[in-house]
Structure 1
Amino acid sequence: MKVLVPVKRVIDYNVKVRVKADGSGVELANVKMSMNPFDEIAVEEAIRLKEKGKATEIIAVSIGPQQAQETIRTALAMGADRGILVKVDGTVEPLAVAKILKGVVDEENPDLVILGKQAIDDDCNQTGQMLAALLGWPQGTFASKVEPGDGSVDVTREVDGGLQTVSLKMPAVVTTDLRLNEPRYASLPNIMKAKKKPIAEKTAADYGVDPAPRLTVLKTVEPGGRKAGVKVGSAGELVEKLKNEAAVI
């Protein structure tokens, strides 16, 4: 079984995001970048499937600037076999990403596509669903458990109020949630080996996709700071403020 894992280069989750002075977007210069945490979970799940003998090859693909090659190298160091970098400068919206990934899927013919449910920079939560629609494949989103079978895969999904298990006929698309697994750290020997693993370079044009954004960002602002709290002298005063001032009870 061949597994394709899209990975995205985003601002590291430990970094405080800063807005550009002109409000045109988020400051990326001299900022630590890393793999989207949900995509790390996807890579880990693909590796575990390979360790169980279910998967035979793992391909990591990233869409972005030349620096996104570092993100692919991280996936290769974790255990992916080879990578594909689709070079695109600038913002790439979810629909364009899904169209490019469809081209990669048509070229590689994987049995399973595993990707993060969303990226922590835009929080769109759209790419996996769009890709499944373009391919006409079944999809299992927000996966907390993935169990491949004979020509099918059972996906346990996190839904409001509980869990739902669906059986998907492969090929299929799966998007990962936080509780699916705990991603491993790449060992130094694997990091060195990753430098020798192949990464093919493509462009959006190779897949007949125009990555130009369809949306225009008018303004980006930082969230407002938290207001100072107040101390109350008694439980009765607290209830009075919650009822009359905050209007929450």
Structure 2
Amino acid sequence: MRAFPTSRRNSPRSTSSVIPSHDAAGLHRYGALAAAAAVVCTVGVAFAPAAGAAAGLPRQPESSSARAGLLESIAARPNPAAIPDDFATAAGYRPVVEAGMLLNPEGDCSSPIPLPAEFDLACKSHDLGYDLLRYAAAHGQPLGPWARQSVDAALEQRMHTACAAREDAMSRTQCQVMATIAATAVDLNSIRQDYGSPVYEPFFEHTGAGPTPAALAVAGVGIAGLASAATVLVRRARSRRDTAARERDFAIAGTASAVAL
């Protein structure tokens, strides 16, 4: 996986795991805050034009073979025969099918923080999709923005689906939060490149005097966590005060009634 969706696409968010416990509800709120904070902290980076941005380039005919291969890479039951004949020579590997996904067997999840092991196959399939985008561009027939959007959306959906296999509700929710953060990082990089052919951008590496986008995102998540914890503490303190006040009023009313009798 070489890494907030915008109005350019509606990214499918996982809604299959509904956990009715207070702890899980708190984690869901934390996940939303984490994603929002990551976007706020990286918005300047996300919308800065990148070297690989495709805006302003004239539209060219798309590579039909790369298009067919890419669609198979995100299909539920992929057919490896749809991969272009010369793709293995250009990419240096031959795609394989594993656990129902067509993927790059040499791919991985690139992240400044550890990601759940369940994301491994989804990341490898995402790598294949990006390599097909590069293949099309190298042949002078790049695929349109729809292609990269589709590959990113498939990664997001597959990560959330992988989390659903966890039996423990708390662990499952934590995994869903990590899937949201990872998908956010990937989308930010795609936005920077205007959903064009992927050019490796050092989203996770330091290249100048300022902090990396990934560092900003992680900082945003930390801020979100602190804000969430502070909110919980404030609400609990307020609840205790309200309860004490009600008990005090009840006691005063009881005493007044006793005196009146």
TM-score range for the pair, normalised by the shorter chain length:
under 0.3
Structure with the greater relative contact order (CA < 8 A, sep ≥ 6): 1 or 2? 2
Higher strand share: 1
TM-score, with structure 2 as normaliser? 0.23
The structure with the larger Rg is: 2
